[in-house]
Amino acid sequence: MADLRGGDLSRLRQLNSLTAIKALRGAGPLTLSALAERTGLSRPSMKEVADELVELGWVEEVRPSPGTMGRPARRYRFRADSGHLVGVDIGAHNVRAALSDLDGEILAETRQPVLPGAPLDERLAALERAISGCLALSRTTVDDLWTISVGTSGVIDVEGRVIYSAAVPAWRDLDLAGRVREMFPCEVLIENDSRLAALAESRRGTAKGVRDMVFLHVGRRMGAAAVIGGTVHRGFGAASGEIVMLPESRWFDAPEHLNGCAVVPEGTPPEDAAGYTLAAARNGDPVALEAVGRYVDDLAVGTAAMVLILDPEVVVLGGGFSRSADVLLPPLRERLERRCMRMPEVRASTLGDECVVVGAIDYAVEHLDRQLFAPDAGPLPLTR
């Protein structure tokens, strides 16, 4: 009934290529027949598509193993190694980086410590060392980098400029994307660290596949993010998740209950104080347990605000303190049950300190998918 025009035909060819890439991504190598079945194409049409994708560098033929008998069927795989992605987490005490292939499979990781008060250039130098270290570890060069995806605390505008950061005040008004691009000439994405951690939880963590989730990013600082309808919610000005800024949420000073507990020995470095209290609470110390109770009282207020507003399926406790989930989750559940209309499941993150850097990789993979599979995407380019 519909008339197929020239433009329609080239669009159809492109859609078939993308359908084939989708079928191959994440899956093992597939024969031509298996691919044809999954894409709904005839075998001869599938062969045409596969030949073109091999030519462009997106797909390669897998050689049959030497011992194979008879004439083995041709098999194809997505060339996830035809480019690389880097994820970075700029924290107050560490800059972490990871390098992955185009499927988000992590191939190398590095960590560079920085002092919380380090000046801007020192922190950017640590970032450069962290990324260069990943390139060296995985024996790749900057020419193989398609995207660097950076997570940092605070509010970032759409151009990658830091509007506000409570954790790293020196970041304010910094054109972070521009500075990273000066060091590494490739595409640079900047996103809020709590949103990246939430993305990692929903892509490969404890909330994989959960469509509505509240993510608590708790450690020395408090952060939050929400996954709504399967998507990490950014907000109109990319400023969502900042419940910590509401005094009535009682989040901003909540960690002080742990840091200032009497069980922490004098002279303990500030970054280790909370861990000391949490460990003492695990061992049943009544003073530490009381401090943890006051901390969870406050944590529960901001969390209940998010749960009452969003009614998520799952709440995930992530960030540095998720290592102490055994101490924190039972009292948190008890307080939420008293406060919420419908009690969500409460789970602990399994990604720990890696959550932001892993989320940064996942964000770069999503970005690649958006570019490839956008309704108005152009024809597939040659890979480099």
Rule CB under 8 A: which residues touch a second copy?
1-3, 9, 12-13, 16, 40-42, 45, 48-49, 155, 164, 211-212, 224, 226, 228-229, 231, 233-243, 245-246, 248-250, 301, 304-306, 308-313, 339-342, 344
Work out how close the CB of 230 gets to a second copy at its nearest, in angstroms, rounded to a whole number: 11
Contacts of 382 (CB under 8 A, 6+ apart): 56, 57
Element (H, E) at 248: none
CA neighbours within 13 Å on the CB side: how many for 228? 12
Nearest CB to a second copy, comparing residues 95 and 214: 214
Q: Quick one: 244 or 360, whose CB is closer to a second copy?
A: 244
Q: Do residues 258 and 273 make contact, with C-beta atoms less than 8 angstroms apart?
A: yes
* Min dist. Cβ of residue 124 to a second copy (A): 25
Q: How many Å apart are CA 146 and CA 363, to the nearest integer?
A: 13
Residue 306 CB, shortest distance to a second copy, in Å, is 6
**In Å, how far from its chain's centre is CA 295?**
27
Q: What letter would DSSP give residue 64? A: P
Shortest Å, Cβ 202 to a second copy:
14
In angstroms, the CA 126 to CA 146 distance is 21
We find the least distance from the C-beta atom of residue 224 to a second copy, in angstroms, to be 7
Residue 135 or 226: which CB sits closer to a second copy? 226
For a second copy, the closer of residues 254 and 264 by Cβ is: 254
SS3 270: helix
172, β-bridge pairs: none
CA-based end-to-end distance of the chain: 41
User: For residues 262 and 343, which CB has a smaller minimum distance to a second copy in the complex?
Assistant: 343
Cβ–Cβ < 8 Å for 254, 299: yes
Nearest distance from C-beta of residue 245 to a second copy, angstroms: 6
What is the four-CA torsion angle of 156, 157, 161, 167, rounded to 10 degrees?
Answer: -20
In degrees, rounded to 5, the angle at the alpha carbon of residue 219 between the alpha carbons of residues 218 and 220 is 130
If the CB atoms of residues 262 and 309 are measured against a second copy, the closer one turns out to be 309
Name the minimum Å distance from CB 53 to a second copy: 13
Question: For residue 255, which phi and psi values (nearest 5 degrees)?
Answer: -60, -20
Judged by beta carbon, residue 139 or residue 342, the one nearer a second copy is: 342
Residue 264 CA to residue 255 CA, distance in Å, equals 13
Phi, psi of 267 (to 5 degrees): 90, -5
Task: Judge contact between 258 and 291, C-beta under 8 A.
Answer: yes
Minimum CB separation from a second copy for residue 250, in Å? 8
If the CB atoms of residues 115 and 309 are measured against a second copy, the closer one turns out to be 309
